[in-house]
Amino acid sequence: MENLLLFFAVLLITSILLSKISDKFGIPSLIIFLGVGMLAGSDGLLGVNFDDQMIAQNVGMLALIFILYAGGLDTDFAAIKPIFGRGLALATLGVFLTALAIAPVAKYLLDFTWAEAFLLGSIISSTDAAAVFAILRAKKISLRNSIAPLLELESGSNDPMAIFLTMTIIQMISLNSTPSVSEWAITLVKQFSIGIAMGYLFGVALPAIFNRLRLKSWGLYPVFSIAWILLLYTLCFKIGGNGYLAVYIAGIFINKKEFSHKKNLVGFHDGIAWTMQIVVFLTLGLLVNPSELPATALMALVLALWLMFFARPLGVFASLAFSKFKINEQIFISWVGLRGVVPVVLATYVYVDGVRDADMIFNIIFFMVLISILIQGMSLGFAADKFKVKESEQEDVKPVENSPILSYTLRQHTIHYGSKLIGKDLAQLELPTEFLIILIKRKNEYQKPTGSTIFEENDLLLIQCENQVLYQDTIKYLTY
């Protein structure tokens, strides 16, 4: 047991330290994690023999739950709201058209059946937001015209569509039957409707629960959050919904509300998501045999180029037709469709379900992901400049000097008996952004309020608010 713990500890630390390379050269961190796993695998330096596809699949499934949840927590609902329809089109129609466009090339290049060819296209059809934004942050690229929120929404919500297509095709191959278009449509609508509805309900409920629980230790809030999201995924799956979509939607609506220890909770799940990404890519790196990749390298390269230059643009241009996005912006959106963790995880399903040519499909998907990361990932900065989608830098604009905080904007308010403030914490109040409680005097001691601070009778509040009417209305609302 100690040797196993030592092995994983060394791999994790090595992966994190080597990921500094991505910050310097703009290489996605996941390529580092994969590389470390491959070096430790059966064909690598350590020669670890790992070939349990079921374990890899379960690790990947668990990782996807928390990666998608963290992605939802990082999504700003106000930013994605104006482009929600277009993002949804990219995540559904775009994914379907991408898979459909890959199928004929895969069929004739690999001598697959139509079902196997569409399966390969479905597996590789979703994009990876984490890879895209890691590179954009490393290169300090800021995108204009709502491109960043669109990419974020698409990448977070297109995984469920790819999973749906993959599982449907695998089931079709296993049962040797072809469902009708109406059956497909009904199943899709059912899964997505249940997933969205349950994600919304669980996402709205959690902040309200946290604001009323008032646990003594803030460390219990992340534990509750983990259990909550696993409960959501399981219940959604049990009643026929898409659990992955549900956890992503829940994350978005949880982030929309203020609640106790929100900042700590979001930071915790960001760390969990990184841990999951590292673990799943190390596991997949151990699973792959690099000596087998050259046999499929040429076919994977052809398919990857077809994906980048035809299949992905087809899905993007069809989904964004008649939108506010210009041609150059749509070309850029097409180019940043990096592939990441989801396709490689889905590729493990072909092993478990006994699909013909499982080894070939897995190796081709793995190689296509590597090519996508290297070619598209390394050229994102160049593409942003080429297609003029960067935010314009206003270097000549002088910094605006802050005006002084005038004394009349600072006000004091004492919480009297019967006030609605008593027993509530700051996060529950959902105060206007211009109404700031900056200090509390309680029993002759001064306290700096936080989201979990509970107000008591006779508390003296120091409030900063420039708008007299807003101040009076807010105080009236809070008092009576």
Q: Which domains are delineated in the chain?
A: 1-183+259-387 (1.20.1530.20), 407-479 (3.30.70.1450)
pLDDT digits (tens, 9 = 90+) for 404-452: 677 778 888 888 887 878 888 777 777 888 888 889 988 888 888 877 7
Higher pLDDT, 6 or 311: 311
pLDDT of residue 130: 63
More confidently predicted of 37 and 444: 444
Cα–Cα nearest to 230, from 68, 53, 472: 68
> What percent of the residues of the chain are helix, what percent strand, and what percent coil, each to the nearest 5?
70, 5, 25
Core vs surface per residue 8-39: b (16+ CB within 10 A) or e: eeebbebbbebbeebeeebbbbbbbbbbbbbb
* Residue predicted with more confidence, 381 or 119: 119
pLDDT tops 80 at residue 228: yes
Whether pTM > 0.95 for this model: the answer is no
H or E element in which residue 86 lies: helix 84-89
In the predicted model, what is the mean pLDDT of residues 47-61? 79
For the ranges 75-89, 129-143, 370-384, the lowest mean pLDDT is seen at 129-143
More confident residue, 402 or 344: 344
pLDDT of 395: 44
Residue 131: what pLDDT? 66
3-state secondary structure of 469: helix
- Per-residue pLDDT at 126 exceeds 50: yes
The predicted structure's pLDDT at residue 125: 92
Environment class of residue 90 by beta-carbon count within 10 Å: exposed (0-12), middle (13-18) or buried (19+)?
Answer: buried
| Mean pLDDT of the 163-175 span | 87
**435-454 residues labelled b (16+ CB within 10 A) or e (exposed):** bebebbebeeeeeebebbbe
Mean per-residue pLDDT of the chain:
84
Say yes or no to pLDDT of 463 above 60: yes
